[in-house]
Each structure stands twice: as C-alpha cells, then as structure tokens.
A and B are shown apart, each in its own frame.
Chain A
Amino acid sequence: MVSPHCHFDVLVLGGGPAGMVSAITASQNGLRVGLIDEQSEAGGQIWRAPWASSPQGYESPEARDGNKMRDRLALSSVTCLFGRRIWSVTDRYRVDLLGADGVETFQAPHLIVALGAHERVIPFPGWTLPGVMGLAAATIMLKAHGLAPPKDWVLAGVGPLLAAVAAGYARKGHPPKAIIDLSGPSDWFAALPSLASRPGLFKQGVGWVLSIVSSRIPIYFRHAIRRAEGQDRISACLIGPVDADGKSIDGPEVGIACDAMMVGNGLVPGGEVPRLLGADQVYRHELGGWIPECDPFGRTSLEHLYAIGDGAGIRGGAVACIAGKLAGLAAAHDAGRIDAGAFAHQSAQALAEHRKLSAFSDAMAHMIRLRPAQVASIEADAVICRCEDVTRQDLVAAARAGARDVNQLKHFTRCGMGPCQGRMCGDVAAEILAQEHRLDRQAVGYWTARPPLRPISLQSMLGRVDYADIPIPKPAPL
C-alpha cells in the first residue's frame, strides 16, 4: 500500500552528488521531493560521510564538498528517506523499499534515478580469495571507517582512484607495498592537458604524486595481476607486464608476498532501474557500458523518467552535480512549475559548465575504460561469476555450445544468476561472449532486469501478514 502521509511530485533514487543536487534543485523550484538511499546518510560513495571520526575529522576536498552539500540538503525541504533498500520500481512510478521499519511504498509522477556505478574488476585466478578487495572498498575504509589494510598490501588496477588510495594510505603511514598500474606514465601524461580546466583537481593530483613519491612505493607501470595465491586468504600474488591495450605480454613476472590486495579496473554504470522500466538502452564503451539513452537534461525515452550521474554514463562527481541541477530543473519544468523561459535561463549556465567539464571527464573515463585485450588475456581457470563459481572456460564452452546473448549465457551456465544479480560479472562475461563470437557488445545485449533489484527475504517483503489479512475472492456465481 502506498504510504498515505507522503505526497511527492518527484522521487529521487540515490543520495550521491547527482541525486542530492537534483533533489535540492527540484525542491527549490516548488516540487515536493523524496530522496531515497540505502545508506544512513547522503553522499554516495565519492562523498561518503565519515563515520569513524567526527565529520570534520577528514581533510580531503571530497569530504568538504560532501559536508557542504549535506548541509544544503538539511536546509532544503527535501524529505530524506535514508537507510532504505530499493527492491522494486514499477508503473509510473511506484518505488518499493525495505528499511528498518519493514516494507514501504512511495509513488510520484516523476522519477529521477541517480544510483551510481559499481566497480569493474578484471578477474584473475585467486581474485576470490579473502583479503582481495575492490579499490572502491579501499576508499570506503579510508574515507569512512579509518581502517588500513595489513602492512603487506598491494594496490592494483587503473585510473585516478589508484593514485588517490595510494596517497591516502601513504599519508596515514600505511603505504602499499607496491602499486601495479595497468597504465604507463605516457597514459597519465596524455590525461594532463584535460586537467588544466580543473586547477583544484590538478593540485590534488600533484599532492597524490608527491605523497606516493616521498613514500618510495615501488610502482610497476604497464603491469597487471596474473594470479593471487593463498589458502584461506591471499598470501602472495604474481604480476606481469601488459601492452598499451592491457594485453598480457611476455616478460619477467614478479612474485610479491602480501596479505591483502586492493584492485579495481574502473566503473560500470548501474542502470538496472531504467532497464527494469523499459527505457531505451545504448552501449557506450567510452562511458562504461550500457546506459539509458538520455537528452542533456537526463530525460530518458520514458516520460518523466530521468537518469543522471555515473549510472547514466561514467563522468565523475563534478559532472554529476551539474547533471543533477539540469534534471532537477527539467523535472520542475516538465511538472509545470517553471515556464520555458525560466527553464532556459536557469539551465543555460549549467549546460555551459557541463561542456567545460567534459574534456576532463572524458579523459578520466578513457583511463578507466574496459580494455577488451585485457579481458582476452583472462586465464581459462579464472572465476568470472563469483556467486556461482563460473570460470572463463565454462563461459567459452557455453558460447561454443550455442549461447549467443548474455541471457542465454546465463541459462547455460548460471553466470549472473547468483545473489549479486550479475553486477560483478556482467560486463566481463558479456565481453568474453562477444569476443568468442566476434560480435559487438550491442549484439550480445545485457541481463534482463527483474525485481527484486536486491536480495531481500520473502519474510521482510511480506511484512507482518495475518491469516485473516489474506483476501478471499467472492465465489463465482453458480
């Protein structure tokens, strides 16, 4: 039953930068807004609220920006519905949630989806060992919980997050034992000109480099993890060289003893809500994968459904804020709260800012793009689907037995059928299938989205039900 006490014009799913700004903007323009997030506080992952220390305790620019926006949110008229898991979105638009008080349902004529991205990790044998964790997990431990990996830990993967995590832990006196960077110095230099438009970030980047250099952390450029070893926990890893496309090449392999590893190869847009609702999708390699087709304001192919932030294409936090402003204004305009003139006037500046930032966001997205050659180098015995323990060779066998698209691949192998619902393996499994058939990614498709969007128990979905509550239909007339 729809909660009777809340009447919203727009529901915003996701409390990261895009969601927060869109919620604030829509509320400033006269809409009644409900902002929903699974975490207990707004911020998403990039602005994740510090938990261990007092909010003022952590000094990064992201923490400052996050606190500022949380303050703005608190002063706005937005109704915050935090600590609630979104498990179903249907109709135009009904959102089913599970929180501490059980199941709840909200409904609104406009829906802004800003659910962000999840991490891509290119599998290698042993990546399922305890102690191997995602790069984004490392930032959560660092930013929110003040937890450092044990002394002998290695950091691997690609992109700016690698530098941010290395520098962050080096400054706290817990530098990684080694950094294994898929990119080479030339890739970093190629990204430099785009940083010119973002002096603040440039300064931050220089700070990271200085921290890494002064900690004397060995850096293996153009290298990737070949395998991780250990019994009940990672105890060592083997690294080897790669070419500019991420393909494993011949060259000396290096073994490193370690008891933890943080590894990440970029981000994949989490587009399941627009997909579930049937919005048109498009595969955009340079934006991280499958995304809903959107206009510059985030309007999808479905009326009054907006998709913004990294879930609508990997562009980073700064662009997400602007996208939030544009979608908030568009929702206010589409709901008839602001006229065409005011809409054009208010959005002009944001559109211009959006264009200005695109050089930088494009460069960063390029750095963390999927490298098909790296996927082609994955070993046959590497687990791709962690939930169901499906290996690369299982997927290849299914492809050869006739699986042509990802949903067939799922039926053949159970890849993507486990509790993570294909979020961890989907991008890589689709790439393996496409390569096996020499098809493009459009041709192999994406998993069909189905509720529940996250695993929830049947008991909590039902709530408290009494036998007497079960409706008995009228008997058919004789």
Chain B
Amino acid sequence: MVSAFTRIVASHHALVHINVDGVDCVAPAGEPLATSLLAAGYVMLRHSPNRHNPRGAFCLMGVCQECAIHVDGQIVQACMTPVRAGMVVQLRGAV
C-alpha cells in the first residue's frame, strides 16, 4: 500500500499473523493494534456513524474512540488492544 507509516526502530518482539478484512498481515505480538495497522498501511479504519465520513486513529491514548473497530466480533479501541496471533480484525465500527 502507498505511503504507509514507517518503522524506524528494530523491534525485538515476535511477529505473528493477524487477519484484517480477510487479508493476512504480520504484526509484532503485544503492539497496540492501531500502531500495527498504521504500519501495515491501514490508515482509514471506519466511518462515522452519522455522516459516514472516513476516520482513522487520532489520539493513540484511549481517549478519542476513533479507532474503535471490530476485533474478534467485539468493538474495541485498537490503540488499547495488544496484537495477538490469529486476531480477526474488521475495519468497521459502531453504526
């Protein structure tokens, strides 16, 4: 994907596979999912429920709720959710 966020520090964490909207992705285990998604090129995460405008992670500290998406069927904040092997991520939020 074009112009993804770039990793500038070599991570010593094990890489695991997660599934994002049916696509297999690799991410460091334990990293906040929002960061892994940015590095994988997923900048848009969902649409706002009222006007259906595109949204992405904004505060990265659990405040703004913009990264609240479906993980394993539940809405969670991606910035507060550590990556686990086999996670199933759907880029859609509440409606």
Q: Which A residues form the contact surface with B (CB < 8 A)? A: 38, 40, 45, 51-54, 57-58, 85, 118-119, 128-134, 136-137, 140-141, 145-152, 172-174, 231-233, 259-260, 383, 386-389, 418-420, 423-424, 454-455, 457
Residue in A52, A53, A136, A386 whose beta carbon sits within 8 Å of that of B48 in the complex: A386
Q: Which of A51, A54, A119 has the most CB of B within 10 A?
A: A51
Q: In the complex the two chains form, is B8's CB within 8 Å of A418's CB?
A: no
Q: In the complex the two chains form, is B54's CB within 8 Å of A423's CB?
A: no
Which residues of chain B have C-beta atoms less than 8 A from A52's C-beta?
Answer: 7, 9-11, 13, 28, 31
Q: In the complex the two chains form, is B54's CB within 8 Å of A129's CB?
A: yes
Residue in B13, B39, B55, B61 whose beta carbon sits within 8 Å of that of A118 in the complex: B61
Q: In the complex the two chains form, is A457's CB within 8 Å of B58's CB?
A: no
A420 and B55 alpha carbons, distance in the complex (Å): 14
Q: Which B residues form the contact surface with A (CB < 8 A)? A: 3-13, 28, 30-32, 35, 38-39, 43-45, 48, 50-51, 53-66, 68, 74-75, 80, 82, 94
Majority secondary structure, B binding face: loop
Instruction: Name the distance in Å between A324's Cβ and chain B's nearest Cβ.
Output: 20
In addition to A52-B13, A146-B8, A174-B8, 10 A-B residue pairs with Cβ atoms within 8 Å of each other are: A119-B59, A129-B54, A133-B57, A141-B5, A146-B7, A149-B6, A386-B66, A387-B48, A389-B50, A454-B62
Residue in B12, B48, B60 whose beta carbon sits within 8 Å of that of A54 in the complex: B12
Instruction: Name the distance in Å between B20's Cβ and chain A's nearest Cβ.
Output: 15
Which residues of chain B have C-beta atoms less than 8 A from A151's C-beta?
Answer: 3
Q: Which of B4, B31, B65 has the most CB of A within 10 A?
A: B65
A424 and B11 alpha carbons, distance in the complex (Å): 32
Contacts A52-B9, A53-B9, A386-B48 given; does A118 touch B59 at CB 8 Å: yes
A149 and B9 alpha carbons, distance in the complex (Å): 13
Q: In the complex the two chains form, is B60's CB within 8 Å of A140's CB?
A: yes
A387 and B59 alpha carbons, distance in the complex (Å): 13
Q: In the complex the two chains form, is A150's CB within 8 Å of B57's CB?
A: no
Contacts A141-B5, A150-B6, A457-B74 given; does A424 touch B62 at CB 8 Å: no
Q: Which of A136, A141, A151, A174 has the most CB of B within 10 A?
A: A141
Instruction: Name the distance in Å between B51's Cβ and chain A's nearest Cβ.
Output: 4
Report the 7 A-B pairs with minimum CB-CB distance, sorted nearest first: A146-B9, A130-B56, A150-B3, A137-B60, A419-B65, A130-B44, A389-B50
Q: Which of A54, A145, A419 has the most CB of B within 10 A?
A: A145
Which residues of chain B have C-beta atoms less than 8 A from A38's C-beta?
Answer: 62, 80
Instruction: Name the distance in Å between B70's Cβ and chain A's nearest Cβ.
Output: 13
Which residues of chain B have C-beta atoms less than 8 A from A418's C-beta?
Answer: 65
Q: In the complex the two chains form, is B64's CB within 8 Å of A233's CB?
A: no
A45 and B56 alpha carbons, distance in the complex (Å): 21
Q: Which residue of B lies closest to A258 (CB)?
A: B3
